[in-house]
Chains A and B, each alone.
Chain A
């Protein structure tokens, strides 16, 4: 959203600076600004102001119990050296652990969701009786609020009374119950599993939308030529839906990089699964260090921005019309 809007603004701004002669163009530019202004003001209020405030707090020693007493401390929250020891977020091993956890979570979950979402979308794109019913049903995990589904899964994955262990042991896949959310080796897998369950429908929906826009003539041509369906998929379908797929992935990536609720409900502040958002919340709320926590939030924002820039550059995603 924000990116697309920024694009429009940039274009409008670009148009304004270019030498314009005609009366009509000038009045059009004026109209554009007129229509854009309310949205820009709204964006500044709801997105710009909190962001600026967070960045400002990250340079202070603000404390949650009394925000008015904040003093400017420069980069001390990010990195500071005193008495032979490095302090600050960037010197904190836990922060880097959180960064690593978040990246691992994002890459694995988004990859799985894309592949599974693609499969689900291809199935739903085929014509079969009761298709609209199935399409609606598939969306249910996405429709349940994350807190509710996370709590639900945390009971299902309970090591002693959980139904997941019960079922897996019933069909003989497990011999002893697993502590899904407690075991350090399994906790991340459990979180990814629930996220994939929850978000695959979203990916499926976006890909399905792309599939329904495809022109039928390519397929007819392929059928006439007797091309194998697998080949058709890789040579026709995939290249055609690729732009939409890339956009869907970027949506998910943005979402995954700031994951909080699911991890917090399933495993609380455990180090095994702590994401950047969980780390920032812990500093901000549990430890009341608004300054330090804001520094972590700002770094989180920069990390997400960096990931998106890298993705757009290397993925050559184009937001403008093809």
Chain B
């Protein structure tokens, strides 16, 4: 394979872009970075294998850290060095602005396929007029609950955070008294990393406390609703949530919930098919709903997540890599992933597909949640988003661990955000 590369290179240099495909016609080896949270890696493998078989090429899978924060750090180092080691990157919904410089414009490859995807995500993935990534699956925070336990104790899925706190406390105490002393009320992602930004943004938005920085770039986080939201969450630690939640990411929370030791869990849709899997201790005992509102006049808020596929501009096989991206993001592949792995499609029509809805009923029920999810302020803050998020999760973590009061910490956060943006100018 290797000795074909120069041929392809010379061909493309001599005859221009039109003939570049001649190099690609030989079997090539691509590398794709896949997440490995839950079953992600398995699905990435089966998907890329199908493409490899179809086209006669080979695909290497590179597994990346589970923490989104660390994954971004790894990508930044690879891309800053101009490394051609990875052709296709799986990138988070908040990264197009940060990584856009290193990615190729996929619009010429996508053509009409773009129109099938949610326009909001396509807009999010467009940086300076370049479509730097194609949506692969979308995500929104949801509330998982133990159907059986709620029924047993005569409770309904909570509508507000206050209800959740009460129900969680009641069931936790009752179950502990009944002998399961490992039972906890609510597990979520409280480690100081991007996941906490997602969780805390949901609390704040559910109390109508805004989204840290608004569309125009104004810093809005220092408000009483936001303080109430974070204070409320801090009250869970050591009462309905274990103190260890302050160091949990998605998988730690799922570990506790799926082994049957929690009543409620905040997580992304991927946890559904695992919780319902054959090895799960809580198979058929799980329900999902939208995350609770912050009080009666609050709203259901879910942070918009989701992953995109992008092609590195340092790749030696850009055309092939783009072809792989288009295959993996196609309706057919997204449907397979939705049915077998509960990965939310980014193609609108799949939410009305009978087979998809039969396999994952909540795609229909929570359609509004997915469509109206709250975006993290990555657009107004641009390349500084990571710093903003870092300040935010640290402020939230300080309050949760009891080292600071919410009001004081939000005043400080506002000041640091002003410093970072040099007075709101970003």
Across the interface, name the chain A residue whose C-beta is closest to B256: A160
> Which A62-119 residues sit within 8 Å CB-CB of chain B?
64-67, 82-83, 85, 87
How long is the Cα–Cα vector from A181 to B247 in the complex, in angstroms? 7
Which of A179, A272, A288 touches B242 (beta carbons < 8 Å)?
Answer: A179
Instruction: Give every chain A residue within 8 A of B243 (Cβ-Cβ).
Output: 159, 178-179, 182-183
A268 at the binding interface (Cβ < 8 Å) = yes
Chain B interface size band reads 35 or more
Q: Flag the segment in B297-305, B311-319, B323-331, B394-402 that touches A.
A: B394-402
Closest Cβ of chain A to B206, distance in Å, is: 24
Closest Cβ of chain A to B239, distance in Å, is: 13
B72 at the binding interface (Cβ < 8 Å) = yes
Instruction: Give every chain A residue within 8 A of B98 (Cβ-Cβ).
Output: 65, 288
Chain A interface size band reads 20 to 34
On whether the beta carbons of B247 and A287 are closer than 8 Å, the reply is no
On whether the beta carbons of A271 and B76 are closer than 8 Å, the reply is no
Q: Flag the segment in B40-48, B266-274, B383-391 that touches A.
A: B383-391
Closest Cβ of chain B to A33, distance in Å, is: 37
On whether the beta carbons of A268 and B76 are closer than 8 Å, the reply is no
B359 at the binding interface (Cβ < 8 Å) = no
A258 at the binding interface (Cβ < 8 Å) = no
B29 at the binding interface (Cβ < 8 Å) = no
Closest Cβ of chain B to A82, distance in Å, is: 8
Which of B67, B80, B244, B386 touches A268 (beta carbons < 8 Å)?
Answer: B67
Closest Cβ of chain A to B139, distance in Å, is: 22
Which residues of A are at the interface with B, using a C-beta cutoff of 8 A? 64-67, 82-83, 85, 87, 158-161, 177-179, 181-184, 267-272, 282, 285-288
How long is the Cα–Cα vector from A183 to B383 in the complex, in angstroms? 32
Instruction: Give every chain B residue within 8 A of A287 (Cβ-Cβ).
Output: 386-387, 390
Which of B76, B383, B402 touches A184 (beta carbons < 8 Å)?
Answer: B402
11 pairs from A and B in contact (CB 8 Å cutoff): A66-B101, A85-B419, A160-B242, A177-B242, A179-B244, A179-B246, A181-B247, A182-B248, A183-B401, A286-B386, A288-B76
Most central of A66, A160, A272, A282 by chain B CB within 10 Å: A160
Across the interface, name the chain A residue whose C-beta is closest to B181: A176
On whether the beta carbons of B423 and A271 are closer than 8 Å, the reply is no
Closest Cβ of chain A to B153, distance in Å, is: 23
How long is the Cα–Cα vector from A268 to B68 in the complex, in angstroms? 12
Given contacts A182-B245, A270-B192, A287-B387, contact A161 B255 (CB under 8 A): yes
B351 at the binding interface (Cβ < 8 Å) = no
Which residues of B are at the interface with A, using a C-beta cutoff of 8 A? 67, 69, 72-73, 76-77, 79-80, 98, 101-102, 182, 190-193, 242-248, 252, 255-256, 261, 383, 386-387, 390, 394, 397-398, 401-403, 419, 422-423
Across the interface, name the chain B residue whose C-beta is closest to A162: B244
On whether the beta carbons of B242 and A286 are closer than 8 Å, the reply is no
Instruction: Give every chain B residue within 8 A of A182 (Cβ-Cβ).
Output: 190-191, 243-248, 401
On whether the beta carbons of B423 and A83 are closer than 8 Å, the reply is yes
On whether the beta carbons of A158 and B390 are closer than 8 Å, the reply is no
Given contacts A64-B76, A160-B261, contact A269 B390 (CB under 8 A): yes
Most central of A87, A267, A269 by chain B CB within 10 Å: A269
Across the interface, name the chain B residue whose C-beta is closest to A266: B247
Instruction: Give every chain B residue within 8 A of A286 (Cβ-Cβ).
Output: 69, 72-73, 386-387, 390
Given contacts A181-B247, A184-B403, A287-B390, contact A159 B193 (CB under 8 A): no
Given contacts A182-B243, A268-B192, A269-B390, contact A285 B255 (CB under 8 A): no
How long is the Cα–Cα vector from A159 to B184 in the complex, in angstroms? 13
Instruction: Give every chain A residue within 8 A of B192 (Cβ-Cβ).
Output: 268-271
How long is the Cα–Cα vector from A65 to B76 in the complex, in angstroms? 7
On whether the beta carbons of B102 and A270 are closer than 8 Å, the reply is no
Instruction: Give every chain B residue within 8 A of A269 (Cβ-Cβ).
Output: 69, 192-193, 390, 394
On whether the beta carbons of A65 and B102 are closer than 8 Å, the reply is yes
Instruction: Give every chain A residue within 8 A of B255 (Cβ-Cβ).
Output: 160-161
Instruction: Give every chain B residue within 8 A of A83 (Cβ-Cβ).
Output: 423
How long is the Cα–Cα vector from A267 to B192 in the complex, in angstroms? 9
Closest Cβ of chain B to A177, distance in Å, is: 8
Report the 10 A-B pairs with minimum CB-CB distance, sorted nearest first. A159-B244, A182-B247, A182-B246, A179-B243, A179-B244, A184-B401, A285-B73, A64-B80, A270-B192, A182-B244
On whether the beta carbons of A285 and B390 are closer than 8 Å, the reply is no
